[in-house]
Amino acid sequence: MRTLVFFFLCFSLIPISSQLYGQVQQDEATILRQTDIAFDQAVAERGAEAWASFFAPNGSMISDTNAPILGREAIRKVMEPIFGEQHVSLRWKPTSAGILIPGNIGYTIGAYVRLWKNAEGKTLKGTGTYTTIWKKQPDGSWKAVLDTGEADGNPVEVKEEK
């Protein structure tokens, strides 16, 4: 009889634990989306230093024009000249966030817009999509372990208003 009661209790708790599990995943996905939005805002304000600060020490970046960049310091060094140029803007917005391994690994996907001036002084605009894989750190924060993006096509010239 005790065994029967034990099994009844265990199986009756499965729906409750599944609901709680789903809620935890949804909450973590919301936190990831908010982290990605904060990442965008920090980079808009502080550039390469902020960019690097959102990566885990062993984080990496993969782009369509460079070899993979491994490690926070290497990422900062690659991004410094990009954000150091005048008239450069890189903004993005997550459109989706999810958890792959609860409490450990998640992702954000979104769209970006990059503005910059070419050698002739013309403003160019590039758009694309990105995916960032995040890992929860021992302190509870989420840091990027992989960031990659894909351009929608060739950049277009932005006509200056006069």
Q: Could you report the per-residue pLDDT of 33-81, keeping only the tens digit for each?
A: 999 999 999 999 999 999 999 999 999 999 877 789 999 999 999 999 8
Count the Cβ atoms, other than its own, within 10 Å of residue 161. 4
What CATH number has the domain bearing residue 60? 3.10.450.50
Q: What total of structural domains would you count in the chain?
A: 1
Is 50 a domain residue?
Answer: yes
**Which whole number is the average pLDDT over 13-31?**
60
Q: 119 in a domain, yes or no?
A: yes
- CA-to-CA distance for 126 and 112, rounded, in angstroms? 8
pTM of this structure: 0.81
* Residue 129 near residue 40 (C-beta atoms within 8 A): no
Rounded to whole angstroms, the Cα distance separating 144 from 122 reads 33
In a domain, 114, yes or no: yes
59 falls within a domain: yes
Domain-embedded: residue 98 = yes
Which helix (H) or strand (E) segment holds residue 146: the answer is strand 142-151
Domain span at residue 143 reads 18-157
Percent over 70 (pLDDT), the chain: 82
Q: What distance in Å separates the CA atoms of residue 117 and residue 85, rounded to the nearest whole number?
A: 9
pLDDT at res. 69? 95
For residue 83, give the amino acid letter: F
C-alpha to C-alpha distance for 88 and 100, rounded to whole angstroms: 33
> What share of the chain in percent tops pLDDT 90?
68
Phi/psi of residue 144, nearest 5 degrees: -70, 130
Evaluate whether residue 13 is within a structural domain: no
pLDDT at residue 8 greater than cutoff 70: no
* pLDDT over 50 at 6, yes or no: no
Instruction: Specify the pLDDT at position 83.
Output: 87
Q: Evaluate whether residue 33 is within a structural domain.
A: yes
SS3 at position 12: helix
Any idea which of 24-38, 42-56, 143-157 has the lowest mean pLDDT? 24-38
pLDDT of amino acid 160: 72
Residue 12 lies in a domain: no
pLDDT given for residue 12 in this prediction:
47
